[in-house]
């Protein structure tokens, strides 16, 4: 039995999609456990690019069942669009299963997200995919789950009830137009026959697979610093993108998790608002953005860029219990004379080796850097550690020593095949 988890360790966009696709080759089942179509994962297979939002990145491996777990907020219209794109490209999608406990992300959630962001004095910079409002409704117990869609009459009654409530909010608080019930019902009627066959009770499917010694890969979206409890609150997403999220979001016990793989990008990026201690607002940051192609896959926004922050990685290590690190995009740093790595925060004259909870404190922090020498050799086609330039090996080793977590794989390019395997991920 092997329960493997892949999580982001920074602010998202570490290359999780690519790494999940690589690890999924040996998985018997892939399960997403949180988030929704706020995610944007780019996977490149033999030069062909796939951009996935809601579908697990493991979907490209066509044999393993691919589950949208109970903890996901799933917009069925986006799901069908993504499936149509894959099918048009010759891939099959009959291995996709939606948990009957997953929340239906409704059209009014997107609308609410947009209205809230527009009205907020303190903007979060959300992806405006309706994620926050959908999770808020879930916890307020007015969410609609997939099993409630099967009986369409029940679904219509519940929709009426919730939409009446939402329309009061839209019109009286935001002064916005109400949403039309009949149009919404018609839109859902159109997708009924395609969605309903995909809805299943998934917790038994997943636990039975683990019982049968199968390898189940739990695929995280977003990342530790966007975690609702342990991220840079309130500049976070509304789910738990850590290994703990797997237990509630996929319906498995903590003891079933064997391996937790943290994906670490060799530098930092962040999309949306919130403190970012190592952010580079100068030409160096612009150079990283251009060289690394750091533009959001979901919103197209330029990503904020900065040096690697090892306090962030250590925070993710602690919150996730990382057993392995996969280091990505180190090829992007090629050509720099020197590379900085943050090893402490100085706040009002005091040096911290951990991240304080109060974001107002973090916003004041000055990074304490260790400077390492760079390299100029093209490493993007290298296949073994000993081919790497010495300074590049030293950079990897520095991260490994500082975090105390072994680096099991080094990704040196965006394609499925651009990897250096160091230790087997079990
Ligand atoms: P995710 O959200 O964590 O899946 O990451 P994204 O897909 O949003 O962003 C990562 C970007 O970097 C994508 O465009 C990938 O194709 C690309 N990428 C992933 N790994 C590597 C790598 O090792 N080197 C380079 N140059 N690009 C990579
Ligand atoms: P992947 O899976 C990067 C950020 C948004 C915003 C905050 C809240 O591709 O790594 P939300 O729409 O979730 O309410 O937005 O979280 N965010 C991400 N940033 N990568 C992501 O996903 C993200 N998903 C959400 O930019 O700051
Ligand atoms: Mg992304």
Average pLDDT over residues 149-165: 98
State the catalytic residue, choosing from 21, 37, 41, 113: 41
**Dist. CA 324–CA 346, nearest whole Å:** 29
**Angle CA(312)–CA(318)–CA(321) in degrees, nearest 5?**
125
Question: In this predicted model, which residue has the larger pLDDT, 298 or 161?
Answer: 161
Identify the pLDDT of residue 300: 83
Flag whether pLDDT at 43 surpasses 60: yes
pLDDT-based confidence at residue 297 (cuts at 50, 70, 90): confident
The whole-number average pLDDT for the span 197-201 is 98
- The answer to whether the CB of 132 is under 6 A from ligand 2 is yes
Summarised one tens digit per residue, pLDDT across range 45-90 is 999 999 999 999 999 999 999 999 999 999 999 999 999 999 999 9
pLDDT of 298? 76
As for ligand 1, residues whose beta carbon falls within 6 Å of it are 8, 12-18, 40-42, 44, 293, 297, 328-329, 331-332, 411-414
37 is catalytic: no
Q: Is the pLDDT of residue 405 over 80?
A: yes
- Here the tokens at position 334 are 């090629």
From first CA to last CA, the distance across the chain in angstroms is 10
Task: Encode pLDDT of 351-399 as tens digits.
Answer: 999 999 998 999 999 999 999 999 999 999 999 999 999 999 999 999 9
> What would the mean pLDDT of 395-406 be, rounded to a whole number?
98
pLDDT band at 1 (very low <50, low <70, confident <90, very high): low
Backbone angles phi, psi at 419, to 5 degrees: -140, 150
Taking the C-alpha atoms of residue 381 and residue 375, their distance in angstroms, rounded to an integer, is 15
In this predicted structure, the answer to whether residue 242 has a pLDDT above a threshold of 60 is yes
Question: Is residue 210 pLDDT above 70, yes or no?
Answer: yes
Beta strands in 75-130 (DSSP E): 96-99, 103-104
Chain mean pLDDT for the chain? 97
Strands 338-347 and 350-352 come out as antiparallel
Residue 363 bridge partners (DSSP)? none
Sign, CA dihedral 18-19-20-26, equals positive
What is the rounded distance in angstroms from the CA atom of residue 55 to the CA atom of residue 12? 16
Distance in angstroms (rounded) separating the CA atoms of residues 162 and 406: 49
**Rounded distance between C-alpha atoms, residue 215 and residue 1, angstroms:** 6
What pLDDT sits at residue 219? 98
Segment 274-294 shows an average pLDDT of 97
pLDDT band, very low/low/confident/very high, at 220 (cuts 50, 70, 90) = very high
13 counts as catalytic? yes
According to the model, what pLDDT value does residue 98 have?
98
**Ligand 2 within 6 A of 13 CB?**
yes
In the beta sheet, which residues pair with residue 340? Answer: 371
Cα 274 to Cα 183: distance, rounded to the nearest angstrom: 37
Q: Is the CB of 131 under 6 A from ligand 2?
A: yes
């Amino acid at each position: 039995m092997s329960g493997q988890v892949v999580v982001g360790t920074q602010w998202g966009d570490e290359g999780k999609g690519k790494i999940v696709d690589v690890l999924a080759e040996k998985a018997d089942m892939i399960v997403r456990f949180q988030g929704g179509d706020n995610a944007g994962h780019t996977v490149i297979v033999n030069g062909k690019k796939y951009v996935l939002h809601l579908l697990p990145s493991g979907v490209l491996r066509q044999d393993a069942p691919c589950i949208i777990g109970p903890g996901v907020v799933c917009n069925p219209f986006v799901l069908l669009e993504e499936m149509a794109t894959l099918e048009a490209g010759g891939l099959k999608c009959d291995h996709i299963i939606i948990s009957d406990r997953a929340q239906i992300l409704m059209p009014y959630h997107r609308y609410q997200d947009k209205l809230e962001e527009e009205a907020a004095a303190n903007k979060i910079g959300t992806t405006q995919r309706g994620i926050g409002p959908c999770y808020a409704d879930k916890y307020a117990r007015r969410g609609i789950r997939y099993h409630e869609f099967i009986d369409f009459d029940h679904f219509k009654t519940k929709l009426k009830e919730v939409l009446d409530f939402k329309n009061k909010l839209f019109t009286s608080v935001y002064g916005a137009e109400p949403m039309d019930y009949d149009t919404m019902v018609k839109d859902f009627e159109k997708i009924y026959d395609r969605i309903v066959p995909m809805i299943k009770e998934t917790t038994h499917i997943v636990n039975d697979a683990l019982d049968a010694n199968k390898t189940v890969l739990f695929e995280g979206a977003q990342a530790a610093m966007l975690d609702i409890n342990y991220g840079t609150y309130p500049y976070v997403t509304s789910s738990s993108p850590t290994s703990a999220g797997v237990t509630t979001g996929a319906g498995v016990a903590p003891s079933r998790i064997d391996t937790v793989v943290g994906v670490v990008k060799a530098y930092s990026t962040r999309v949306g608002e919130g403190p970012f201690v190592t952010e580079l607002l100068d030409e160096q940051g612009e150079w990283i953005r251009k060289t690394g192609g750091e533009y959001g896959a979901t919103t197209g926004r330029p990503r904020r860029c900065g040096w690697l922050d090892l306090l962030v990685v250590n925070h993710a290590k602690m919150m996730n219990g990382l057993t392995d690190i996969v280091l990505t995009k180190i090829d992007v740093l090629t050509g720099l004379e020197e590379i900085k790595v943050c090893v402490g925060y100085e706040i009002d004259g005091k040096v911290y080796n951990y991240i304080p909870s109060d974001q107002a404190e973090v916003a004041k922090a000055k990074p304490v850097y260790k400077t390492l020498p760079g390299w100029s050799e093209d490493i993007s086609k290298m296949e073994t550690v000993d081919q790497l330039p010495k300074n590049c090996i030293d950079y990897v080793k520095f991260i490994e020593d500082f975090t105390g977590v072994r680096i099991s794989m080094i990704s040196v390019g965006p394609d499925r095949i651009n990897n250096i395997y160091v230790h087997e991920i079990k």
